[in-house]
Amino acid sequence: MDMIKDLFLIAVVGHLLCGYCDVLLTYIPGGEKFDFTKMKSNEAMAKTFVKMPLRNPRISMVLGVFALLMEGCGFYGLCLWMKQFSTPASIVMLIGAALFLVMGTAHHVLCGVAEWMYVKMGCTDEIREAVVKLFKDTSITMIVCYIGLFVLGVTLFVQVVTGATDLPRWACIINIIPLYMVTLPLRVGGMGNWCGAIMFIGLLILI
């Protein structure tokens, strides 16, 4: 159990670091904030990214890879913990975690590359079109990433809420999926990672 808690603690740090990486990609010095709706107009995109330092996406890409590996440690620990209650549920969660980690890492790096390219190439409409095409052509990485996370989160939720684990049933809310759904309207950059950190902190306390 001590090893599992160590893995959870690593995941907390990983989620906080990855949340910081998301902030680097989302918030631009000067008060501008990026969201995907701005990709429809180069005027809006250029206004948003004109003050974006190239170091931001560069740091985000490199640090984000290590942060996601640390998150993977926590999800692996979660699967190990679940195995004592249900081997099938543990396997399903492990598959979900693997999909999230592999595709999530690719998606995160692609986001950083796209921003770096757009800023480096002068925020022109031509490069915006290239970035939009890049996102469309590689959207499978984002889709599979979130499917994997959803499968993991839902499996954990079901196991806890049905009493299959030794956690109290109310602890089902200490889960990245319901936490993210509740906080989604806030539109805060990196919210998924802040929710992941809260989940692992909660599990550290309860398990």
DSSP sequence for the chain: -HHHHHHHHHHHHHHHHHHHHHHHHHEETTTEE--GGGGG-HHHHHHHHTT--THHHHHHHHHHHHHHHHHHHHHHHHHHHHHTT-HHHHHHHHHHHHHHHHHHHHHHHHHHHHHHHHHHTTS-HHHHHHHHHHHHHTHHHHHHHHHHHHHHHHHHHHHHHTT-SSS-GGGGGSSHHHHHHHHGGG--TTHHHHHHHHHHHHHHHH-
Residues of the chain with pLDDT under 70: 1
Q: What pLDDT is stored for residue 10 in this prediction?
A: 97
Residues 6+ apart with CB under 8 A from 73: 7, 10, 11, 14
pTM, to two decimals: 0.91
Q: How far is CA 15 from CA 7, 18, 134, in A?
A: 12, 5, 26
Q: Inter-axis angle of helices 87-120 and 139-161, to 10 degrees? A: 150
Residue extents of the structural domains in the chain = 2-206
Question: What span, in angstroms and rounded, lies between the C-alpha atoms of 118 and 190?
Answer: 21
